[in-house]
């Protein structure tokens, strides 16, 4: 998540995002990796019957970070 935050901070100018194609590829890669991490943590949490606090915390942190990405990233993920 720290790499994702650094990537987003480097492309932000004021209140707008200025994204080069290279940076866009990095951000999409970070987003896809976070999606995979979220899915794994969610499965672990469900397998433990909802009693795995670390998996629950990881799920919520990753979900909060993923919410900061543009909606177009979600659409690309769904359309795959």
pLDDT (tens digit, 9 = 90+) per residue, 42-80? 999 899 888 888 888 999 999 999 888 888 888 887 776
pLDDT at position 24: 83
Nearest-angstrom CA–CA distance, 38 and 58? 7
Number of compact structural domains in the chain: 1
CA torsion sign for 33, 35, 37, 43 is negative
Work out the number of other CB atoms within 10 angstroms of the CB of residue 66.
Answer: 19
| pLDDT value at residue 25 | 86
Domain enclosing residue 23, as ranges = 2-78
pTM of the model: 0.71
């Amino acid at each position: 998540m720290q790499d994702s935050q650094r990537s987003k901070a480097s492309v932000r100018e004021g209140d707008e995002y200025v994204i080069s194609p290279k940076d866009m590829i990095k951000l999409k890669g970070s987003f896809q990796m976070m999606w995979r991490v979220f899915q794994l943590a969610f499965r672990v949490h469900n397998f433990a019957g909802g009693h795995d606090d670390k998996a629950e915390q990881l799920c919520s942190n990753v979900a909060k970070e993923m919410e900061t990405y543009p909606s177009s990233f979600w659409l690309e993920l769904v359309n795959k």
